[in-house]
Structure 1
Amino acid sequence: MDLIEVDDVFSILQIESDQTASIKEVLGIPGKDNLGNYSFFIMPGIRLKLEKFIRSLRALLTTTDSTSSLAVTPLTISSGLLQRFPFLIDLIYCLESHLLTDFSLDFISNLLSNITCTKNAFRYQQSVKDFAASLYILGGRNVYEFVRLNIPGSIPCLNSLRSILTSSKTNFIEGEFQYERLKDFINMLDCKYAFCGEDSTSVVPKVSYDSRSNSFVGFTLPLNKGFPCSRYFSTNSFGKLETWYEEVDKSFLINVHVIQAVCSIGQTSPSPFLLAAYGTNSKYTAQDILERWSRIFDSCMTQNIRILGFSADCDPKQMKAMRDSMGFFSKFQTGFEDHPNHLEISLLKVSE
């Protein structure tokens, strides 16, 4: 502080002393005037740079002092502003009482900070990015654009959102079953029992290139013992791609497998875990379904997760697979009774 207030910091160099000799060799040229008095000449460039540096420090010190004074000065809101925007009273009360969730605070602060900036300077916190991704996945493009255009600065534009989704570490590859992630999910819940659900929903047939898997998505993946062959449609040949367009069916359904963890009594039931998803044309048999369920069961057992049962809608092939697995009006031999992890439940109490 004292050094900044000195007008001429080089004045000490005008004194002839051995202690300042090394500094003088760098900063300027010593000499004597006509009367034989000692004098020291400072290089103009060095003097100019130091003076600019000191002026910058003084300006910064002034700004810091003014900011500090503003920080301790209480903010006064005019009564006219409160009458025009009465929700400010509720907002202040919620902030003082800590009634807002972390996401609500992030969303509001993100929105207000972006409104004061140009569009190129918009920034979004991670919680807002996660919300935007969920909104796009659950609501679709039209819903997302409706929210974004009516609340400017609230969520990223579609191009930014695509970059966020592409860079996400939790992205999925069509036809790949996420057993490792399922294990982490189940361990986090501290449970080892679950149900597996399977269902299909219709989609508009469309083929697109997935850069993460280096394959084309939208063709119907072939099945190997009931399981889709992931990354099957990968090629560098335009001729082969043209052949696929002409000969391979495009998927008009998405088949989804989810895992619902079964928790202890009193524990909140978690949301289902998405195990896998892939396109299909519904050309498979009940045998394919049974083989797929059997393999899912065995794969989960290796992760110390026991699947208690499989659920599906009223699709005829899935209903037949259930009848065959239970032997309910079916003579199909599945061999499940001889499985080493075959589960037996007695519904009747045996008297001693």
Structure 2
Amino acid sequence: MSLDTSLLPNNIFSLKNDEFFQIIKSLVGEGLCEILKIQSINSAENLIATDDIFDVFKYDSEELIDIKNKHFFKLQNGQYLVKTGIKNSLLYILKLLKVKKEEQESLLNNNNHEEQLDTKFIINHPLLRSLVSYYKYTDHIKNNNDDKRSFLKIFIDNIANNLSQSNNHFRYHDSVKQFAAVLYILGGKNPGEQKTGKKTS
């Protein structure tokens, strides 16, 4: 049977006390929740670490009588047998928690692997190494508002974005357009001129 781990919130392993009990109650009802509360099993990690949550009910205690009468069968020899529904609820919750934990650990491992791949990728490409060093430098000196460096960032970003686009999808920032126009003028040409040297109407 497949388990829908989305029934558990992603922060299930950080929930304690009432927040944790509310999740258990919403999934399997009040019975299992009462058995956990009486033993102060108040978190997912605490529950997973408990070998047998029914073991305590082998003992005589006035505090346990009400729960025993509600959720256990009393045998002729005086012993108590947990009801099947409660036992199945526990098995379901434990399985759900364990699968959720495995999913989160797998996701964490994948993220760590991707970070390692990114680092290796940067090391293998000198241009990327230079760009990373440059951005680290500008962040370090906290000079991001400097006009020269701000334009350089825009210029680099503009080029990098266009490299992954087809020619007819190239886009240019206004400051890059202005920079290109200035270079064109310094080269002795009018931005309105065509390649033939004639001015456009």
Higher strand share: 1
TM-score scaled to structure 1, two decimals? Answer: 0.22
Question: TM-score with structure 2 length normalisation?
Answer: 0.34
Larger helix proportion of the pair: 2
